[in-house]
């Protein structure tokens, strides 16, 4: 039960780290354990209707597409489940300012894809399942101890089994226990928002466009789904009190409230799937590693979903971390060595922090209701919309296209 790397968490980021390690090592041997009680190897059912589409979707950037292709996952997502969006339309609920980003202006086929999380997870699972050297253990990790005299971290499973790892990757999500076991402190605060997610059917087609209305209570997004031209995935961020009231409404009343909150932009909302709500909190680990444990994805940082960047940052962590681990293993260095993990931290921390600062700025700018700020915000949006070079630069950065 001795491994080069034990990954705690087989969510999107944990599986991405495993897939990237296998791809990076090529035919060199590597011993990896991927541990998660919720690991489900079953293929997702085809999704064609309001009730069968996963309500958890992510907007994936071109950079993520390139990474997932490299690790052998993107090509396994059924093309009918890839929802490209060719435009993004953002406007201020408290004025007349708006901004439209169009793929055609940038000579691109699309700005990104909306993909059900379970499809991406399934594709990663398929990529990993063909690899040798990975043990997938569907159990909970109870505890990680301090490294032993040989530098191995003991990973204690709920079954009582103890794994020994040169490096433990904590990809166990926002409430990471690995972060606690490593003693890694976070800087965090509440956004005072809950996000309601659901699939809805609209009177008008979604037109392969990502729509977002900035209300003072929080942004409301409609994201296109390729399964049907009138289906959209919504992310409705609002105060915890309003979210509670909205969740308590019956379907018809919810659809009416949603239609009004979205200013009838896509006509009436005619039907809604089951709904779920998530409290939104900004978190960032001050350090990403300690005592042979390193963090990636939501375990290291969580941000507001308003620009759909959370898991895209997580995939960038997975890419950088796996590169550093592969480099170390190929040179015969322990992947848990501080120098290896410090390089990963240097590569990822500044980028994650910059994105978090930008999201916080957007959130505050659109929450401000002082007349002067409102006027400046709307004027700014109008100017920005006409200022092509800076607009193009921003969208290329958000899509990760500036680094490809």
Interface ranges with ligand FAD (CB under 6 A)? 8-14, 35-38, 58-59, 140-141, 171-173, 177, 195, 197, 235, 278, 297-298, 305, 308-312, 314
The answer to whether 384 touches 378, Cβ cutoff 8 Å, is no
CB of 95 to ligand FAD, least distance (A): 25
Which CB atom, from 120 or from 334, has the smaller least distance to ligand FAD?
120
The rounded Cα 267 to chain-centroid distance in angstroms is 29
CB of 297 to ligand FAD, least distance (A): 3
Which CB atom, from 166 or from 312, has the smaller least distance to ligand FAD?
312
CB of 388 to ligand FAD, least distance (A): 26
Task: Please report which helix (H) or strand (E) contains residue 19, including its range.
Answer: helix 12-25
CB of 261 to ligand FAD, least distance (A): 16
Pairing mode, if any, of strands 231-238 and 276-285? unpaired
Which CB atom, from 191 or from 374, has the smaller least distance to ligand FAD?
191
- From CA 178, how far away is CA 183, in angstroms rounded? 8
Structure tokens at 9: 């968490």
CB of 114 to ligand FAD, least distance (A): 7
- The set of residues, in sequence order, having a beta carbon less than 8 Å from that of 390 and lying 6+ positions away, is 384
Q: For the beta carbon of residue 97, count every other beta carbon within 10 angstroms.
A: 21
Which CB atom, from 97 or from 305, has the smaller least distance to ligand FAD?
305
φ/ψ of 293, rounded to 5, equals: -115, 135
Which CB atom, from 113 or from 391, has the smaller least distance to ligand FAD?
113
Which CB atom, from 117 or from 378, has the smaller least distance to ligand FAD?
117
The answer to whether 223 touches 102, Cβ cutoff 8 Å, is no
Residue written as tokens 């929450």? 367
CB of 241 to ligand FAD, least distance (A): 18
- From CA 249, how far away is CA 267, in angstroms rounded? 20
3-state secondary structure of 139: coil
Which CB atom, from 377 or from 401, has the smaller least distance to ligand FAD?
401
- From CA 36, how far away is CA 179, in angstroms rounded? 16
φ/ψ of 141, rounded to 5, equals: -85, 125
Which CB atom, from 117 or from 126, has the smaller least distance to ligand FAD?
117
The answer to whether 44 touches 206, Cβ cutoff 8 Å, is no
CB of 291 to ligand FAD, least distance (A): 17
CB of 387 to ligand FAD, least distance (A): 26
3-state secondary structure of 146: coil
Buried b (16+ CB within 10 A) or exposed e, 184-193: bebeeeebbb
């Amino acid at each position: 039960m001795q491994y080069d790397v034990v990954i705690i968490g087989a969510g999107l980021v944990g599986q991405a780290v495993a897939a990237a390690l296998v791809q990076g090592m090529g035919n060199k041997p590597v011993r990896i354990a991927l541990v998660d009680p919720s690991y489900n190897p079953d293929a997702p059912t085809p999704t064609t209707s309001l009730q069968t589409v996963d309500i958890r979707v992510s907007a994936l950037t071109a950079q993520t597409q390139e990474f997932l292709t490299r690790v052998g996952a993107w090509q396994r997502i059924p093309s009918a489940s890839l929802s490209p969006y060719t435009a993004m339309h953002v406007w201020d609920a408290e004025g007349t300012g708006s901004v439209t980003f169009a793929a055609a202006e940038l000579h691109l086929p699309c700005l990104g894809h909306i993909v059900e999380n379970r499809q991406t997870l399934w594709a990663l699972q398929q990529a990993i399942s063909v690899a040798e050297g990975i043990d997938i253990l569907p159990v909970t990790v109870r505890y990680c101890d301090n490294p032993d005299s040989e530098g191995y971290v003991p990973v204690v499973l709920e079954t009582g089994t103890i794994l020994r790892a040169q490096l433990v990757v904590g990809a166990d999500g926002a409430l990471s226990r690995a972060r606690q076991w490593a003693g890694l402190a976070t800087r965090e605060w509440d956004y005072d928002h809950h996000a309601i997610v659901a699939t809805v059917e609209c009177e008008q087609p979604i037109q392969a466009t990502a729509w977002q209305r900035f209300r003072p209570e929080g942004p409301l997004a409609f994201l296109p789904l390729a399964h049907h031209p009138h289906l959209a995935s919504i992310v409705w961020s609002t105060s915890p009190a309003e979210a509670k009231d909205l969740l308590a409404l019956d379907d018809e009343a919810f659809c009416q409230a949603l239609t009004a909150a979205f200013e009838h932009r896509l006509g009436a909302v005619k039907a809604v799937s089951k709904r779920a709500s998530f409290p939104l909190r900004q978190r960032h680990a001050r350090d990403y590693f300690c005592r042979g444990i390193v963090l990636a994805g939501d375990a290291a940082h969580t941000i507001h979903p308003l620009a759909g960047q959370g898991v895209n940052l997580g995939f960038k962590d997975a890419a950088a971390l796996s590169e550093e681990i592969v480099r170390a293993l190929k040179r015969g260095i322990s992947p848990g060595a501080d120098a290896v993990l410090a390089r990963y931290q240097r590569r990822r921390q500044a980028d994650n922090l910059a994105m978090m600062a930008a999201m916080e700025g957007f959130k505050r700018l659109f929450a401000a209701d002082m007349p002067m700020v409102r006027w400046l915000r709307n004027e700014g949006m109008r100017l920005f919309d006409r200022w092509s070079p800076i607009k193009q630069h921003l969208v290329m950065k958000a899509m990760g296209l500036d680094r490809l």
